Amino acid sequence: MTKISSDWTPKLAQRTYLEARQVKCLTLDEGHVWMRSYDDLPPPVRRRLAESVHNICPACLKGEAARVARRGRPSVSIYFAVIEAIERKLDEKAP
C-alpha cells in the first residue's frame, strides 16, 4: 500500500471562498499557485486526475509522488498509486 501524508482526510480543510474550495489542497493554495504543476504532469496522470471524484491539487500530488519515489522523477504508475491512496483517504468514513 502506498504511504501518503496523514493530512489527507475526508474533512480536509478548505478555504471559505469558492475558488479555493474547488480543490483538495494540503496547503489551501488558490488555483493560480498550483496550476503550473498540472501542466508539468504526464498526460495519463492529468487524465486520471480529471476522472477522479475528488479534485486533487496537482502540486500536492507531485509532492506526495516525489516522496513515494524518493529519487528521480515519479513514474506514471507511482502517480496512479498515490492518486488511489489519496482517494481512499478522502473517501474514509469519519470516526
Ranges of each domain in the chain:
18-91
Picking from 79, 85, 68, the residue whose alpha carbon sits closest to that of residue 44 is 79
pTM listed for this prediction: 0.78
49-59 confidence digits (pLDDT tens) = 999 988 888 98
Closest CA to 64 of 19, 36, 91, 24: 24
pLDDT in tens, 10-65: 776 554 555 555 667 777 666 666 677 888 899 999 999 999 988 888 988 999 99
For 65-90, what is each residue's pLDDT tens digit? 999 998 888 999 999 999 999 999 98
In whole angstroms, give the CA distance from residue 62 to residue 73. 10
Examine the pLDDT at 3 and tell me if it is beyond 60.
yes
The set of cell numbers assigned to 50 is 480529471
Contact present, 9 and 28 (Cβ < 8 Å): no
